[in-house]
A = this chain, B = another copy of it.
Amino acid sequence: MSEIFVGIDLGGTNIKIGCFDSDMKLISKTSVATKADMGAEVVVDRMAQAVEKLLADASVCLRDVRMAGIGTPGPAKYKEGIIIDAANLPKFKNVPIRRMLSEQLGKPVVFENDANTACWGEYTVGAGKGVEDMVFFTLGTGIGGGIVSNGELLHGSDDNAAELGHTIIYPDGRLCGCGQKGCVEAYASASSTAARATEAVRSGTASSLKKLLDEDGQISCKDVYEHLAAGDELARQITDGTAKALAIICVNMLHITEPKRIVFSGGMIASGELLLSRIKDYFNEYIWSLKTETVEICFATLGEDSGIIGAAALALHAHRT
C-alpha cells in the first residue's frame, strides 16, 4: 500500500495542487483558478473537488492519502489554522481553512505560510537537501524568509518568525513599506532594486536605462539585470547594492542561526551568476576573520513547484512525527 501526500499552494489567482508519494516524487499536479471573490466556502469546495479529480485522473485511491498540506500568504494564525486577512484573498476574513479543508477531504491537514512552505520544499528535496540548518529567502516584490534549525521550521512565539526582509541593515536608511527605515527589503527586493535604478537615472546618472525610463516611464528589476548583462555601469552599481544588502543579511544569519546553507529563491534569481557571484563576493568581504566559514550560498532549484512540494513535504513530516 502506497502512502500519498497532497500539497496545495493557495494563491490569489490560482490554486496549485500536487500529489506525491512518500519519497516526494510527483505523481501528478494541476492548477485551477482560485475565484477568491466567491468567498471561502466556494474556494474550499473547488479545492477539494480539484484534489479529488487530480487523484482520480492519476488513479490514486483517496484512502491512500495520509495527509494534505496547504500554504497561503499571511497574515494568518497558522497554529490555529485560520486565515485572518490575507491581502490577495480579500473575502477571506477569519476563515478556519484547515478545519474546512480537512472536513471536505476527510484527511488531516497541515497549514503553513507560503514562504515557510517553499522553504520546507527546498529543504527536503531542493537546494537545502542534506543539511539540518538552512536559511531561505524569497526575492520578489518583497522579501520573505524561512529558517530551518536542527531539522525543523522555526516559527517564533506567534508564527511570525523569519521576516528576514524586515531586518534593518542601514539604520535611518531607505523607507520600507513596513514603516521601518533601512530594511533589507528596502534595498534588495525586486521593487527596491527597480526603484533605486529609477532614482539614480532621474538624478542624472548616465545609463542605458535612461532611454527605457524616457520611453516606458518605468524601469523594472528585470530591466536592471538585462542592462547589467549588456554592460551598463549604473546597472552594475545597483546590482552591487542589492548583492551587498543580501550579503550582510547572510553574515547576520550565519551568526544568528548558523545555517549550513543559505538559499535564495523567487523571480530575481533569474539574474543568475551575475547576482549570485556578487553576493558571495560581498559575503567573503564582510564576514569575520575569526574562523573560516563553510556556509554555502546558492539559488533554489524547485522553481514554481516549491509551494506544492513543500506543502506535501510538511504533510509527510507531520504524518511521521
CB-defined contacts of A248 to chain B, threshold 8 Å: 168, 171
Contact B156 A133 (CB under 8 A): yes
Known: A157-B260, A256-B256. A170 touches B167 (CB 8 A): no
Considering the complex of A and B, which 3 residue pairs feature the smallest CB-CB distances, nearest first? A156-B258, A179-B289, A133-B157
B251 and A288 contacting across the interface, CB-CB below 8 Å: no
Among candidates B75, B158, B178, B257, residue contacting A256 with C-beta atoms closer than 8 Å: B257
CA distance A128 to B236 in the complex (A): 47
One digit per residue, 1 when the CB lies within 8 angstroms of any chain B CB and 0 when it does not, for chain A 282-321 equals: 0000111111000000000000000000000000000000
Q: Which of B147, B159, B179 contacts A288 (CB 8 A)?
A: B179
Asked if A168 meets B252 with Cβ closer than 8 Å, knowing A150-B155, A156-B133, A157-B133, the reply is: yes
Tell me the bound Cα distance from A131 to B156 in angstroms.
11
Residue of B nearest to A260 (CB): B157
Complex CA–CA separation, A176 to B159 (angstroms): 34
Select which of B131, B157, B171 is within 8 A of A170 by beta carbon.
B171
Query: Are B290 and A258 within 8 A (Cβ)?
Result: no
The B-contacting residues of A in range 130-178, CB under 8 angstroms, are 131-133, 147, 149-150, 154-164, 166-171, 176, 178
B149 and A154 form a contact (CB under 8 A): yes
A156 to B178, CA, bound (A): 29
Chain B: which residue is nearest A294 at the CB level? B158
20 contacts between A and B (CB under 8 A): A75-B291, A132-B157, A133-B156, A147-B256, A149-B161, A150-B155, A155-B258, A156-B259, A157-B259, A157-B260, A161-B257, A161-B258, A162-B255, A167-B251, A168-B169, A169-B169, A178-B289, A179-B290, A181-B286, A252-B252
